[in-house]
Structure 1
Amino acid sequence: MPTDCISYQNSGYFSKLIIDYLNQKPELQSLYHRLPTAENFLPQIEEKGNNFPVENRKVLVESLLQQYTNFTLSDTSLHNIELLKQPNTFTITTGHQLNLFTGPLYFLYKIVSTINLSKQLKAKYPNYHFVPVYWMATEDHDFEEINHFTFKTTKIKWNKDSKGPVGRLSTQGLEEVYAQFEKELGVGDYAKYLKESFKKAYLEHATLADATRFLANELFKEEGLVIVDGDDVNLKQLFAPYVKRELLEQASFQNVTATNKALAHYDIQVNPREINLFYIEDNLRERIVFEEGKYSINTTKTTFTESDILAELENHPEKFSPNVILRPLYQEVILPNLCYIGGGGEIAYWLQLKSNFESNGVTFPVLLVRNSVVIATAKQVQKIDKLDLSWSDLFTKQHDLIRKKTKELSSLTIDFSEQKEFLKQQFITLNDIAKRTDPSFIGAVKAQEAKQIKGLENLEKRLLKAEKRILSNQLERISMIQNELFPNGGLQERKQNFSEFYLENGDQLISKLLSELNPLDKDFTLLIV
């Protein structure tokens, strides 16, 4: 089995900003509070403990227990909720959309990273308690991003109109999706479990939020996972003072805009609006806009004076929903949270937000890039060994990989670098002669040099092409194994659903993830199932 490790930085799948963050570039220090090391969590605990109101803990626990009404909680999860009342209990949080049947594999990796970090911190700091939290993105509205998942090569899609927050969306119509999924799964005990899980989650719960809660709880309840729905009137009441400030001062626009200017040489993930709030109802999620001295709800005729909208906030805080700029602040206001675990894109936009946290007097969490995983079967590993491939090879773009392996496998030397260098040295002499005779001759010499170099490059390409034909069988096997592990030339974790692997491995899939993922590691995890 290949033994080389692939760091996130060298994988080719992370942005420059995340690579520089992982490499601890000094110019990024102002964008984060503390780096994700085990030692840095103690000062984070002390700071968050001093800045998190005790009364918020009571509201949080009451809201969580209410949210779990009609759900069967494991003793571990219930214990963790009760622990949140205590001032020495803190959370480790990840968030994710309400993807149909969890969506891509990395849903699992986020939650496992969160659970495992909680365990590691408990071992290091036994006088404190650490609760893994999954924050459901119930107030999102982009239904097209979450209404499908891929099982093997089949896209299973839920066709439905959606206008308001997705968490409130009725699960009516998912019977047809279940029928399609059931056919794809076939028979067997693991197939039966997957069918029952889908049926219980989506056909026996009224909303997408409840269905997602059931499924995540089913998969991770024995690990003490606590699931939070931010679309909650009592939790929104805790956030109301920050909403008021956003309405009256629009400070987040100024703060994040200033940070974005400092990040101009990176790809910016999110851009703030003057007011970073939505107004939501069951079938409505629209921006709040301030124009000509009045607040209006975008695309509607609803308007408010300042006093009217503040009264609306006081009476109906649940109608005010933070967008991507303010949602992290909301999370950190209502949770005694130490660390946010997310993918590269998420961590990139969190790095834009620290100044806004400071402006609001809220402790900025430690930011940790979630574990990334490539799952391979023992049979696939045998193929990789026979083909003499390393993991570094498999992470290479296929065009470059085939070119590299052709050169390695060929009995010929398909590299004319030595000849090109020799040719260049010859033309240095010719150029010198031209300079000492007729300067007009220099252009002709350079043209001839370019022609000769180009000729060698063309010969090299033709030779490479000929060797590819000769080695086609072996190169095809290399392409096939890479395509299996990197579908459509991308990461497996972003394409495939967990059910495809659960069908073959059952509970061992999650057990192996829990045993092998180290959240503080910066290398891809290569999981053999």
Structure 2
Amino acid sequence: MKIIPETLRGGSALAEDYIQGTGRASDLYEYNVLHADAYAQRAKWLDKTGHLRLNRKDIVACLRIYNEKYNSYEAVRASLDRLESPDALVVAGGQQSGLFTGPMLVIYKAATLIKAAREAEERLGRPVIPVFWIAGEDHDWDEVNHTYVMANDPQAVKIKLNKQPERRSSVSAIKVEAVEWKQAIADIEQSLPDSEHKADIMRMIENGLTDSYGLSEAFAKLLGLLFGTYGLVLLDSADPSLRKLEASVFKQLVQHNDELEQAYRTTAARIVDYGYHLQADVHEGGANLFYIHEDERLLLFKKAGLFTDRHGLVVFTVDELLEEIDRHPERFSNNVLTRPLMQDSLFPVLASVLGLGEIAYWAITRDAFGVLEMQMPILLPRMSFTLVEPGVEKHMLKYELSFGQVRDGLEERKKQWIATQDQLGMQDQFSGAKEAFVRMYEPLVQQTGLIEKGLLPLGETNRDKILAQIAYLEAKVQEALLRQNETALRQWDRIEWSLFPFGQPQERAYTIYHFLNRHGLSLIDMIMSVPLDLTGTHRVIYV
């Protein structure tokens, strides 16, 4: 295994400045991730503020039930036993529940959680538990109902659940029928090439999907199959049992809603004033809470002292909303700005593992933590990888292509390479022929116009037709040249589709199961053996 740090395009300037300790980002976060004493400072604050969080034993009891059902591993039970200890801390992070665990970045986030918790435990000399937060309360079905597998063509094959919910329900509440799971399993089996590992991988997928109620349940099972032996604790933010415990926090979010809104708006304005781009919307009058009405997740707003949705389907006074929380806490859920507050109300969060975009939008929440007398935790960037398989590496060496050149786009380089295969210099010959023809024919056309004006446009038309015929033959020669180099061009395509499908990083498109099929479950152990890097550096792994 060879690991080389590389640069990726894009990202968030705010997140980059936070990670590197540059610009004015430090004013927007509680802790400096680069500070040697950050962990100790955060742990000291957490030890003094246990009264701000929900009862630890109640939370652990709830997690035991959930994990025993979907993530039943001895290492997970041990993690939960340790979490009950009064001095135990948590490294948390999460993602929406996607088909076949969604894109590979989910796997890298889980690995970062586990490794960061281990490192923190060594540094602090006390238990630190990795907890993965499955955002099952989210309702963006179209974002999570599909994934991509690398095909042999080469191209990316899209696998999608055909389920079309009638309402904007939470993903965890959307039932996927057995026939739909069966089709998804058949689709991925057909897309994955035969390999020595395929039977094991398909059994894993079948165990995760078969009999699962919906995407969140299947996601939890598959993530557990990959990381349960490492002690990764899972929770579903839409778990009704968890919702009951969270009722008091939802009440605080309602009672302090105006203060929270002001905090979000003030911080958002400061972020823009510092020259950064906002990664999340801060709506005027936004309650930053959702209410589930007739299976539809409605975003609440404040209007004339009332809480309502955009279309007025539900209307509550403050007292009525508080009473509804008491009666039906399962009907409430967070948005991206209140979820961090809920997470820190549940756990003694030492650090939260986030993607760059998440780090950027978390900045909006800093002052909101203070409204509830809390502090934003340390934010850690998840590890970021591109996996380069032996065949792809071989092709890159053959055509002398670096990772950066692939990242920046291969089209121009591919054209240049094709041109070098024209050993007869046909392109130059055609260019010369067209120039010579025009040079000889143009004076003749002009002279015809002196004999009779009507002959000039006729001559020009004739000239253009002859040039078009030459261009036609040139195109046919080019097509023949491409056919002669078809195998090589497929290798170029293989490089591009493997590393940057659709022009985006591999980790944002493909499911990990393409690579597990080729390399087996030992690939997870390999990822876990990669040294922890919390500097946001992207690394290319030649497997």
TM-score in same-fold range (> 0.5): yes
Give the aligned partner of residue 135 of structure 2: 137
> C-alpha separation between the residues in 2 aligned to 1:524 and 1:401?
24
CA shift, 1:181, in A, is 2.2
Aligned ranges for residues 312-461 of structure 1 at < 5 Å?
312-398=324-410
Which sections of structure 2, spanning at least 5 residues, go unmatched?
Answer: 151-155, 421-480
Amino acid at match of 2:280: V
> C-alpha separation between the residues in 2 aligned to 1:380 and 1:214?
32
**Cα RMSD between the aligned structures?**
3.0
Give the aligned partner of residue 503 of structure 1: 517
Further displaced range: 242-251 or 518-527: 242-251
Question: Is the counterpart of residue 169 in structure 1 residue 174 in structure 2?
Answer: yes
> C-alpha separation between the residues in 1 aligned to 2:280 and 2:134?
20
CA shift, 1:186, in A, is 5.3
> C-alpha separation between the residues in 2 aligned to 1:239 and 1:177?
35
Amino acid at match of 1:191: K
Cα-to-partner distance string for 1:388-434 (whole Å, 9 max, x where unaligned): 444333333446767999999xxxxxxxxxxxxxxxxxxxxxxxxxx
Give the aligned partner of residue 449 of structure 2: none
Question: Does the residue aligned with 2:24 lie in a helix, a strand or coil?
Answer: helix
Choose which of 6, 27, 32 in structure 2 pairs with 1:35: 32
Further displaced range: 220-229 or 350-359: 350-359
CA shift, 1:244, in A, is 2.8
Amino acid at match of 2:17: D
Give the aligned partner of residue 254 of structure 1: 262
Which sections of structure 1, spanning at least 5 residues, go unmatched?
Answer: 409-468
Choose which of 222, 229, 245 in structure 2 pairs with 1:222: 229
Give the aligned partner of residue 197 of structure 1: 204
> C-alpha separation between the residues in 1 aligned to 2:164 and 2:494?
38
Amino acid at match of 2:282: P
Q: Percent identity?
A: 26
**Conserved? CA contact 1:59–1:235, under 8 Å:** no
Amino acid at match of 2:86: P
Amino acid at match of 1:209: S
Q: TM-score, normalised by structure 1?
A: 0.80
- In structure 2, do the counterparts of structure 1 residues 402 and 252 end up closer, same or farther at CA, with 3 Å as the change threshold? farther
Aligned ranges for residues 112-131 of structure 1 at < 5 Å?
112-125=111-124, 127-131=125-129
Question: Does the residue aligned with 1:68 lie in a helix, a strand or coil?
Answer: helix
CA shift, 1:243, in A, is 2.7
**Conserved? CA contact 1:341–1:370, under 8 Å:** yes
Question: Does the residue aligned with 2:364 lie in a helix, a strand or coil?
Answer: coil
> C-alpha separation between the residues in 2 aligned to 1:2 and 1:55?
45
- In structure 2, do the counterparts of structure 1 residues 155 and 83 end up closer, same or farther at CA, with 3 Å as the change threshold? same
> C-alpha separation between the residues in 2 aligned to 1:263 and 1:301?
34
**Conserved? CA contact 2:67–2:235, under 8 Å:** no
Cα-to-partner distance string for 1:310-329 (whole Å, 9 max, x where unaligned): 11112222222111110111
CA shift, 1:93, in A, is 1.3
Give the aligned partner of residue 425 of structure 1: none
Further displaced range: 488-497 or 34-43: 34-43
- In structure 2, do the counterparts of structure 1 residues 19 and 506 end up closer, same or farther at CA, with 3 Å as the change threshold? same
- In structure 2, do the counterparts of structure 1 residues 517 and 300 end up closer, same or farther at CA, with 3 Å as the change threshold? farther
Cα-to-partner distance string for 1:43-68 (whole Å, 9 max, x where unaligned): 11111222233762112101101223
> C-alpha separation between the residues in 1 aligned to 2:276 and 2:416?
31
**Conserved? CA contact 2:31–2:38, under 8 Å:** yes
Question: Does the residue aligned with 2:408 lie in a helix, a strand or coil?
Answer: coil
CA shift, 1:221, in A, is 0.7
Amino acid at match of 1:78: R
CA shift, 1:4, in A, is 5.7
Cα-to-partner distance string for 1:242-271 (whole Å, 9 max, x where unaligned): 433433442222111111112223221112
CA shift, 1:73, in A, is 1.6
- In structure 2, do the counterparts of structure 1 residues 236 and 51 end up closer, same or farther at CA, with 3 Å as the change threshold? farther
CA shift, 1:365, in A, is 1.0
Give the aligned partner of residue 513 of structure 1: 527
- In structure 2, do the counterparts of structure 1 residues 161 and 382 end up closer, same or farther at CA, with 3 Å as the change threshold? closer
Aligned ranges for residues 274-293 of structure 1 at < 5 Å?
274-280=286-292, 283-293=295-305
> C-alpha separation between the residues in 2 aligned to 1:110 and 1:495?
15
CA shift, 1:281, in A, is 5.5
Cα-to-partner distance string for 1:253-303 (whole Å, 9 max, x where unaligned): 211111111222322111223211111257221122333343334446333
Amino acid at match of 1:147: N
- In structure 2, do the counterparts of structure 1 residues 404 and 339 end up closer, same or farther at CA, with 3 Å as the change threshold? farther
